Structure formats: C-alpha cells, structure tokens
Amino acid sequence: MNALTKIASGSARIASPALSNGEGPRVLRAGFIPLVDASVLIAAAEFGFAAKEGIALELVKDVSWANVRDRLAFRQFDIAHMLSPMPVAAMLGLGSNPSPTITPFSLGRGGNAITLSTRLFERMQQVAGTGETAGAMENAKALAAVLADMRARGESMPTLGMTYPFSSHNYEFRYWLAAGGIDPDHDVKLVVVPPPLTSDALAAGAIDGFCVGAPWNMVASERGVGRIVAAKQDIWPSAPEKILGMRPDWAESHPETVSRLIVALDAAARWCDDAANHDALADVLADPRYIAAPVEIIRHVLAGEFSLDAKGNRRVIENYFQFHGQFANYPRPSQALWIYSQMIRWGQAEPSLALARAAASAYRPDLYRAALGDDCTPEDADIRIEGDRDGERFMDGRIFDPGDFAAYINGFEVKSASIAIRQPDEG
C-alpha cells in the first residue's frame, strides 16, 4: 500500500510541519454546505492534504448560504465553501450585510441540475409532446408551452426554488428559463430553498421545481417526486460552481497560510478528479458530519450517472464534476464579469466601469499564481472570451466578450423590464 493509498483509506495521517514562524499547525475554521461540490475542502481535511501543509481544517456544516456569508463576515469562519457569485456580490455591496470577500481558488466545475416535479414534467409531455430523451432547450420550450396553457386557464404560476439570490443556481435557472422564452420575474415565482430541503419541499408540493447542487436532484428523482430536465453542463459547461471564500484583510495578514492552503487544495482537487478515489471520497461524503446522503447516490453523481426519474430513465454526463482538470481551479476574472453581466441583466446591479472593476477584483489569480506558479496558469488567463469554444459554449450559443457588456446584455430578448445599457462608464 503506497502512501497516498494509506491516506485515502484513513490508515495513515501525515505529520503537520510547523509554519515558518515556528508555530505549530494553523487551525482554520471553514464553513460549508452539505453538497458534493464541497469535496475538495472535505478531502483536504480528511485525507491529509491540509495537514501536509501545516494546516488543520476544522469543517463546520451550515444550513444556508446567508449563514455562511455572515459567519465569514463576522469572523466565525476563516474561510468558506461559497457560491461562485457570492464574492462578486460582496465586492459590489449587494445583499444584506455585504462584507468584502475574495476567492483565490475555485473548488471546481459542475454539479448543478434543474429538477421539475413529476406532475409538471408529465404536463410538459402532454402539452408539448416532450419525449423522455428531450434536451435542456427542448425542455425549456416545453415548460414555456405549459406556462402559456396555465395562463389561458387562469391557473397560478408555478413556484421554483433556488438556493440564494446571488448564486450560480439563480443565474443558471434564469438562463435556462429565458432561453426557452420564459420571463423568470413574471412567468414563474422564484423562491429561496436551502439545498438539503429541496427534495422534501418538492415532495410536499411547496415548490414545483428547483435548481440545486448534487446530490439533491438525484435524491428527488430516486424518490419519484422529480424529473431532472437540465444539468449545469447543458447551460454553461465551463462555469465555476463553488469557490473558496475569504476576507481580503485576512488574506493579506496570512500570506503564507493562504499559499499553503492553495497548495493543499490543489493536491486535494487533483485527488478528487481521479475516479480511482471516488469510492473512498463517496464514503466520507456520505458521513452524517458532511452530506448525510446515501453513499450509492453519491457514487453515481461522482460518476455523472443520473437517474432522471423513478421510471428508469438514465443519463451519463462526462465530467459532471470537474475538480481539477482543464484549469478548473483557476479564478478567472472574466467569469466574475459574466456573473456581473447577469446581475445587470436581472436588475440586481447597475452598469459602470467602477463596478466592473470591483466585480473582477473578487477573483484573485495573483494569489493562485503566488502559491502554484505560472506553470499552473492557463495561457488565456488574462484575456478570456467565454463560451467561444467547443465544450464551453452557452446553451443558446451566445458568446460573452467582457470588453462589450452593452452588446451582450442588450442582445437578450428576455431580461429585466426596459433594460437597455450603454457600455459601462466611469462612476
């Protein structure tokens, strides 16, 4: 048994080296939400990667993203598993209790999906003739047909759940709905539901669908209460999902700890990407301290093997989770700017050059490079057009050029009422 296998099996622990100032291992308190996309943080703590860098990770499970945000702001957490838009929103001063937040490391790509109630999906089949193998765009258009039928009959609009107003789930759900011709602010009702509660809320009829991270979509489909109709890879395959959040003042005060932490997370992400480690990872994730979900479901979602519903319909998504490959951990400012573009599109933020700079400043590739070197930096790191290549395209074929916000946002037919912007000005 080699050293890494011993670490993975829990039969060995690495002695923690002292930091250069002579102190023992630094204890970092890290908040997280019980989702598979917290894998890199959990693996770093459980399999010795953090300990190897002289860091003891104390992982604290929380119940909502608002809690995680507040506990980081009020210094109950040193670092946190966070939604990729949360640092952008924080640097723009959006939401309640905004506090400056940055990310030097993305925790990977993938993991989200959109699930509708079986009742709603069956109505899509009846009204629009949606087949069992329908793709994301076809399903969005079928839902639009059902909503038109509901309006004609005077029925109430459906209620759809997402996890947080400044979340990848919100923007991906809205992108999917709008691509099908649905106005998410007028044709449906969007509400916030914590990830672990989504399946129960769907079963109880409190919501008619949701967008959330794994494993909760498959939990709903396995229970027979939901049908998965789209995955994150269908909407924007290269999108960052969760990130490592920290306060900028904390990062400036602890540069060596930040670098060591990034090195540890890089090693953990590489380990998580290896399918040979997925059984060991799934066993840990299923533990009540972390996700507390059936281990077999977690194994399936790590492999991208989906039970779309309880009827036996299945789908395999290659690289459904990408923890390390293709520079998945690099914090791209262009992706922060895409998030900002969606905040403008849906009326959460105003367009300005100063705000664009603030949004981009949330993602800190300088700290990533300081820890891992230029060899770990993608060639197109500084100038990036999003969605312009195979395997990274948006579901509607649009391309995001950070240098032309106005044309990009104005090009959408479905957006906040009467929004029409010029290229951002200073101010």
Listed in sequence order, the DSSP H helices in 274-322 are 278-285, 295-302
Question: Which residues are CB-neighbours of 303 under 8 A, at least 6 positions away?
Answer: 275, 278, 316, 320
pLDDT of residue 123: 97
First to last CA, the chain: 60
345 CB-side CA count, 13 A? 25
Nearest to 251 by CA among 371, 381, 354: 371
Reported for 6-13, long-range contacts at CB under 8 A and 24+ positions apart, including other chains, are: 7/47, 7/48, 8/47, 8/271, 8/277, 8/280, 9/280, 10/46, 10/47, 12/48, 13/48, 13/51
Structure token pair of residue 67: 């809690």
Domains of the chain listed by start with CATH number: 3-109+240-292+324-376 (3.40.190.10), 112-238 (3.40.190.10)
Closest Cα partner for 51 from 213, 323, 261, 220? 261
pLDDT of residue 380: 79
Query: What pTM value is reported for the model?
Result: 0.91
Under a CB-based contact definition with an 8 Å cutoff, are residues 163 and 195 in contact?
Answer: yes
Q: Which two tokens stand for residue 193?
A: 């539901």
Q: What per-residue confidence (pLDDT) applies to 422?
A: 63
Beta strand residue intervals within 237-320, DSSP E: 242-246, 305-307, 314-316
Burial of 326 (0-12, 13-18, 19+ CB in 10 A): middle
List all residues 6 or more positions away from 388 whose beta carbon is below 8 Å from its beta carbon. Answer: 399
Q: Please give the pLDDT value at position 420.
A: 60
Q: What is the mean pLDDT of each run of 10 residues along the chain (427 residues)?
A: 31 42 73 97 98 97 95 97 98 92 97 96 96 94 98 97 96 98 97 95 98 94 95 94 98 97 98 98 98 95 91 90 95 96 95 95 97 89 83 93 89 80 53
pLDDT for position 14: 34
Q: Is the peptide bond before 215 cis (omega within 30 degrees of 0)?
A: yes
Contacts of 293 (CB under 8 A, 6+ apart): 34, 215, 216, 219, 285, 286
